[in-house]
Chain A
Amino acid sequence: MTYRLQRFPTPLATSAFAARTLAVVLALLTAGAALALTGSSPLSLAREVVTDTFGSAFALEDLALLVSPLILTGLSVSVALRIGAWNIGAEGQFNAGSLAAAGIGLFVPGPPFVILSLMLAAGIGGGVLWMAAPALARAYAGVSEIITTLLLNFVAGLLVYWLATGPWLAPGGRAIGTTARIVVDIPELWDEVHWGLPAAILLCVTLSALLRFTRWGYEIRVCGSNPQAARYAGMPVRRHLITVMLLSGGIAGVAGMVEVAGTVHHLQGGISNNFGYLGIMVAVLARRSTLGVLASALFMAVLLNSGIILSTRGVDVSVVLAVTGLVLLYTAIGDEIAHYRIVRGAALSARAAEAAPKEYPPNELAE
């Protein structure tokens, strides 16, 4: 009885999960090994990271402040993946949302509740606006959204930088390079942690339910899985594509608004802080599951927090970015390997297995 490896069209759920866990572990081990090579002791660093991350109430607050933008950007990318689009522009939409919200917060007077609502609307609007051109170009001209959303990231980053250090600069704030403090805050839930976190969790749960239990959600899932079959069933594929892409942009915009109104309270260059790009990581780790974004965002937050902690110990914060890349790489490899199963020499039944399309939205750039 000989054994060999055979590739199957879809991986077993357990294999996929095991592959991912292994990917994360291996990435951390690789990072640890690299750190060891540069002279730091990975084990002691790890111990410090764990105690600093979970050790105190302050530490948990820091973690919570990282989790909410990651949930939102992760959700943004995840929702776009459902319809078959890669939202690489969450970073730019985040900035656009912060910018719009800050604009309201800095210059529009009024009672807090009204201002906060306006800021929320502005945040959504900013994100939607930033996604508009890429969404339409994809829907009507088949232009890949990967590059178009990405290019706009740079534009948004520059725009925020310019506003924060130029027209909107705080008086006498040449040195700080940021705007004045925005008067209205998102109310705090507990110490520094604000209502943005439960709101983000709620949004995630709601979206997950919408996708599973509404007609609209069913149509979105079909459109994302096979647009041709969706058309055949009479679904308005193009309309759904645009809607969901804009929704994705809007969610990332909300992330920006929450960050500006809840955590930072100023508009400054770099406010997006790579949350948009890390959101891609979060969505990819969560795979097809919207609810999985929550766990994935928590993991990413821990990773990010570790980076910050390590930077105080002399390890460069860019290492986190590199480790994220490593996790993504190993995950991609693991996902592919999970398709293989060990098979005995003689097969069991006489069915013909046919090749299935790949799990992720298509690699090809043009539709």
Chain B
Amino acid sequence: MTAGTSPLDPSPPAHPLPARLGQPPPAPQVQPPLVQLRGITKTFPGVIACRAVDLEVGRGEIHALLGENGAGKSTLMNILTGIYQPDAGEIHIDGVRRHFAAPKDAMAAGIGMVHQHFKLVASFTVAENIHLGWEHTPARIRARDLAARTRRLADSLGLAVRPDARIDELSTGEQQRVEILRVLARRARVLILDEPTAVLSPSDAQELFKTLKAFVAHGNAVILISHKLDEVLKVADRISVLRGGRRVATEKALDSSASGLARLMVGHDLVSGANLRGAARVNGAGLATHPVAAAHAVPVLELRDIVVIDSTGRTRLDRVSLKLHGGEILGIAGVTGNGQKELSQVVSGMLPVSAGAVMLGGKDFSRRSARDFAAFGLGHIPEDRLQSGLAAALSVIDNSALREYARPPISRKGWYRPAKARVLAQSIAVAAAVSVADFAMPVANLSGGNQQRIVARREMRIATRVLVAAYPSRGLDVGAIETMMRYFVQLRDDGVGVILISEELDELRNIADRIAVMCQGAIMGVLDPATASIADFGLALAGQRHGATAPLEAPAPQRPRD
């Protein structure tokens, strides 16, 4: 394929040599694109993941794949790396048609992928993981040799890793470095990254982009899967947008804008840019502006110097103190893996603390069970619904009743009444706008997004005083996220205190009244989204304690970062 002839390729035709008199100009010399996907189609039970997708990635290019959850980005890349087989379509590498029956075929062709969920063996060391399936691994191995070779490799590629550490002891950022190192060691020419910055602090993300730019400068290519518009606009050369399994556009980053891309991703203008803090007014419900936090003297939820140490001795929460009042939304920002999971478990009574106190409505609940927390009126939308929030093999009815099964009308004097539970399940499904074909079927049959909506609704029902929502928009499309955010605002306006844990700073800045930033298990600062700048947030996310903190933060000495 010569440049300029493909409708996909906006790059200009090769510069023609000056014509000699009487001689036609020589044909422009172009190499075929590094990667070419044609007409890729893939289906799974009940869903068409990819529909006749074409994609071209040239040398020296950082190509971004944008799209919402479920748009088909990960599936497409899994096909390119040989994990899935396409139902139709062709793959061409360097102009040669290839068929990848297994991941190692793709690897041999120079395709390497760093997945969103790292393919690392948790109990092995860094060196062992690097040497897994690598042609340079000797038949006989000794830990010392592996470590030395790993160090040499890391130095040559400019990525810092600790060869003897076990993977499950590393931070997510470090694990990602190991993954990248692993892929680059196998002489990948095409590096695919799936949502790489989801687990990185802004400074780590900058490091990553530097590495990527250096990589493509050698004539390689990078495919970046992301849903973060501004990042993609900064880093990528070209951007392809996927929607509903189809490729809807490919544009040069220089020619695009965030709103234009958003429109392509969703198919209509996004509302999320609007400040939902004022949504109540916009709705015309006649509600007043949100009540001032200080109106409630006693915080509905308070954490005092909470310390959580896990079974391996690592400190997960480090003297965390927070106050939540009814009628406010407190956002918790931070890169995933900095203690948010433990925080959400502590405030919902699931995790006992090693030190400190959890107060609800002014009373000490530190020794109380999760059931007492729920009885107080605390709802909790968990981060991992299938692990914590749902019993996959049980019916939709039984799952909907999970929080209210012990109360009348469902339960009376020790009897459980399935008929009443069914009524509850139906009302939850209606409120969540989920259509359920058969309430008696296992809840695992519902789609991830529907499951999330049902869990959220179930929790919001019992959240009369506090709602803790951990990454509630995961697995939801933009429309559903908007609806959920409006519910949170509604709850807030009704006097409920809402804790919203999210990795999307924008989401929090839109809706939260205050935002606490977590890093390494500690609160770096509580910022006011109206006044704090992106730089303030960035610093806090990277581990710098914020100067202007709320009065309840006790000043602590600066801790060196790992």
Contact = CB atoms under 8 A, between A and B. Distances in A.
A216 B414 CA distance: 7
B47 A350 contact: yes
Interface string A1-39: 000001111100000000000000000000000000000
Interface string B379-394: 0101000111111111
Contact of A215 (B411, B444, B445): B411
Interface stretch (A101-109, A148-156, A230-238): A230-238
Nearest to A359: B393
A346 B382 CA distance: 35
Interface in B374-416: 374, 380, 382, 386-394, 398, 401-403, 405-406, 411, 414-416
Interface string A177-218: 000000000000000000000000000000000001111111
Contacts of B390: 226, 229
Interface string B217-238: 0000000000000000000000
Contact of A232 (B44, B370, B394, B416): B370
A290 to B, nearest CB: 15
Contact of A348 (B46, B380, B394, B441): B46
B393 A356 contact: yes
A234 B444 contact: no
A81 to B, nearest CB: 12
Interface string A268-311: 00000000000000000000100000000000000000000000
B371 interface: yes
B369 interface: yes
Contacts of B442: 10, 356
Bin chain B's interface residue count: 35 or more
B311 interface: no
A290 B393 CA distance: 16
B350 A356 contact: no
A240 interface: no
Interface of A: 6-10, 212-219, 221-222, 225-226, 228-235, 288, 341, 343, 345-354, 356-357, 359
A348 B47 CA distance: 7
Contacts of A343: 45
B382 A354 contact: no
A298 B416 CA distance: 30
A345 B87 contact: yes
A4 to B, nearest CB: 9
B558 interface: no
Nearest to A360: B393
Contacts of B47: 347, 349-353
Interface string B419-451: 000000000000000000000011011011111
B45 A233 contact: no
Given A221-B394, A233-B403, A213 B46 contact: no
Contacts of A288: 393
Given A218-B405, A346-B43, A233 B418 contact: no
B43 A229 contact: no
B48 interface: yes
Interface in B341-384: 348-350, 369-374, 380, 382
Which 9 residue pairs of A and B lie closest in terms of their CB atoms, listed nearest first?
A: A234-B371, A356-B444, A225-B391, A351-B447, A226-B391, A234-B370, A347-B43, A218-B416, A353-B45
B110 interface: no
20 contacts: A8-B45, A213-B415, A213-B417, A215-B405, A215-B414, A215-B415, A221-B398, A229-B402, A232-B370, A232-B389, A234-B349, A234-B371, A350-B48, A351-B46, A352-B46, A352-B49, A353-B46, A353-B47, A357-B386, A357-B392
Contact of A354 (B369, B398, B406, B447): B447
B58 interface: no
B403 A353 contact: no
Interface of B: 43-49, 70, 87, 244-245, 348-350, 369-374, 380, 382, 386-394, 398, 401-403, 405-406, 411, 414-418, 441-442, 444-445, 447-451
Contact of A352 (B70, B370, B418): B70
A233 B416 contact: no
A347 B49 CA distance: 10
Given A288-B393, A346-B48, 20 more contacts: A9-B444, A10-B444, A217-B416, A218-B401, A218-B416, A221-B394, A229-B387, A229-B402, A232-B350, A232-B380, A233-B402, A234-B349, A234-B370, A234-B374, A235-B371, A350-B48, A351-B46, A351-B450, A352-B70, A356-B445
Contact of A353 (B370, B371, B447): B447
B418 A212 contact: yes
Contacts of B392: 225-226, 356-357
A209 B451 CA distance: 28
Residue of A231, A233, A346 most packed against chain B (CB within 10 A):
A233
Contact of A230 (B46, B391, B406, B411): B391
Given A213-B418, A226-B391, A231 B370 contact: yes
Nearest to A7: B45
B447 A218 contact: no
B248 to A, nearest CB: 15
B46 A222 contact: no
A357 to B, nearest CB: 5
A101 B392 CA distance: 41
A77 B115 CA distance: 42
Given A214-B416, A350-B47, A352-B70, A222 B391 contact: yes
A228 B372 CA distance: 17
Nearest to B345: A232
A229 B391 contact: yes
A34 B448 CA distance: 48
Nearest to A8: B45
Given A213-B416, A221-B394, A232-B350, A354 B45 contact: no
Contacts of B414: 214-216
B48 to A, nearest CB: 5
A257 B163 CA distance: 61
Given A233-B370, A234-B369, A352 B391 contact: no
Contacts of B244: 350
B417 to A, nearest CB: 7
B145 to A, nearest CB: 32
A342 B398 CA distance: 29
Nearest to A10: B442
A346 B401 CA distance: 36
A166 to B, nearest CB: 47
A179 B293 CA distance: 80
A221 B443 CA distance: 14
A347 B48 contact: yes
Residue of A230, A234, A235, A351 most packed against chain B (CB within 10 A):
A234
A348 B45 CA distance: 9
